[in-house]
Amino acid sequence: MDWGMSNRMSRMIKSDGKTVMLACDHGYFMGPTRKLEVPRRTIEPLVPYADTIAVTRGVLRTSIDPKWDVPILLRVSGGVSILKEDLSDEEITASVKDAVRLNVSAVALSIFVGTAHEKQTLVNLSKLVDEGEEYGMPVMAITAVGKELEKRDARYLSLASRIAAEIGAHIVKTYYCENFHKVAEGTPVPVVVAGGPKMNTDEDVLNLVYNAMQEGAIGVDMGRNIWQSDYPVAMIKAIRAIVHENATVKEALDVLRENKSVAQLSAASKN
């Protein structure tokens, strides 16, 4: 890995080898997602606590202040919307040259292993890796499952994550599952876990983060379970406590409660 590639990776993955990525790229196929209707309003309070922010180039150019000191993970695949039954028919929607122009730290695309468009998305990844190597730009592969959430088991995710690494992805984003350690052990590049749809409780979120870290993930790339929370800053701080400070779920819940109280007091003082 040359200097430029290593430097970009080190912006996102901190000196402890871990990362808390904030996923805010949902609009590329979901449109104005709940609590992400106005991207800047959602993102700005969370910037100080995110090691990386994942967005599209449209949101980057319109909603991210160039003065903010935060690495950017640029979503570069798309072409379908939530209105389609099959979400796997994706193409590359932004070039690595544009990513370099935007000074981002990495690019990301989805692969859909086992779907009608498996080959297309894997070739997309291969071409993106070729371009990334030419420009020193890391590539994240996201093992997407579309609307088929039942695919999130260790056998499938191990297969998809390993294929992504074999093609040349520098980092893989996948889902947490039972026996997740098998996914992490079989993927010879860093693995981060997605949050997926909003979970029922805060404790559910923190348990997922804790278990994933214990089983080999280097961090998370979460969106809805942070910014759809009633207290998003408190939630991301609690997640950081697990990822970067080796906190237990109980300790992280204490962090969450303390920061909720601060937010509540602040809100009350303004009324």
Q: What are the catalytic residues? A: 173
Contacts of 119 (CB under 8 A, 6+ apart): none
Q: Letter for the amino acid at 166?
A: E
With tokens 């009633």, the residue in question is 230
The span from the CA of 121 to the CA of 174, in Å, is 15
- Residues near 263 by beta carbon (within 8 Å), at least 6 away in sequence: 231, 233, 234
The contacts of residue 210 (CB under 8 Å, 6+ apart) are 242, 248, 249, 252
Give the count of beta carbons closer than 10 Å to the beta carbon of residue 130: 12
